[in-house]
Amino acid sequence: MEQFENFLINQLPKIESFHPYFEKAVSHMLLAGGKRFRPHLLLSVVEGLEPLLIKSSLSVALAIEILHTYSLIHDDLPAMDNSPLRRGTPTIHTVWNEATAVLVGDGLNTLSFETIAKAPLRDDIKIKLIKILAESGGINGMVLGQAIDLEFENKNISLEQLKFLHINKTGKLIAGSLKMGAVISGRFDLEESLWNLGISLGLLFQIQDDILDSTSNEREAGKPVNWDSKKNSFVTVLGLERAIIEANLLADKIENELNKFEINLKNSLEKLLFKYLRRHN
């Protein structure tokens, strides 16, 4: 959504300091683009349920993007994946240094919650949104998944363990984005079903990324391919053909789940998801 991109640019953090480049470093990866998939999920839910709340939701969508961006910055650090490229852009630790990347990630992490706290929504809604984002992105969510991913490099794990890893590392923040859209819209009855949809989406996206990592080039991916050969992936565990079958089964499941939603929500989500569900084929 162009509206979100413009909002992001206008809300870039202003830092009053004599530091020669810290403000630029904070905005570096936020401005690098990307799919903005997680904030668009939240906005698609609100658009389908309570479109008059879209403007009030932009700060929350931005908070999700900020938290996700922090995770990418830390994920690319030498102590983790040591990647030189993200979103087709040189990573922060390669442009400046590792300490700057750590501090920028730390700053974006806390900025995400500050951004929700300042959103034009009721306080009780903001508290619930902060709780969902913290749980999805924290030690029982994204951070846990990353810890497992790093610990089990060069070690074999089962398919169920691999799914657990990526439900946490990828799925829960996607699921949380959908659930937060329901909270903003006052549709608490949809929280569970949207969360479950997000878990399925997270697994599908990871399988697709693993397939694309083994079949595409760096320019198409926007980051190095075959960079994580020492890590477990759905392709290394299942093989390429079975990974594609698994992705197709998940895409079918997601389409069935979408058909259960009321028509406006279904249409809004389908408009966003159409180009993603079969991108592995």
CATH of residue 164: 1.10.600.10
219 pLDDT exceeds 80? no
The answer as to whether 264 is a domain residue is: yes
Residues spanned by the domain of 37: 2-273
- Confidence band of 122 (pLDDT split at 50, 70, 90): very high
Helices 54-75 and 123-137, packing angle to 10 deg: 20
pTM for the model stands at 0.93
> Are 56 and 281 a contacting pair, CB within 8 Å?
no
- Confidence band of 130 (pLDDT split at 50, 70, 90): very high
Query: What rounded mean pLDDT belongs to the chain?
Result: 94
Q: Which two tokens stand for residue 23?
A: 């403000």
Number of domains in the chain: 1
- Confidence band of 217 (pLDDT split at 50, 70, 90): low
* pLDDT for the residue numbered 113: 98
Distance of CA 205 to the CA centre of its chain: 10
13 pLDDT exceeds 80? yes
- Confidence band of 224 (pLDDT split at 50, 70, 90): low
69: CB partners within 8 A, 6+ apart: 29, 30, 34, 108
More confident residue, 29 or 222: 29
Burial of 79 (0-12, 13-18, 19+ CB in 10 A): exposed
The answer as to whether 281 is a domain residue is: no
Q: Which two tokens stand for residue 272?
A: 């966003």
- Confidence band of 229 (pLDDT split at 50, 70, 90): low
The answer as to whether 280 is a domain residue is: no
The answer as to whether 106 is a domain residue is: yes
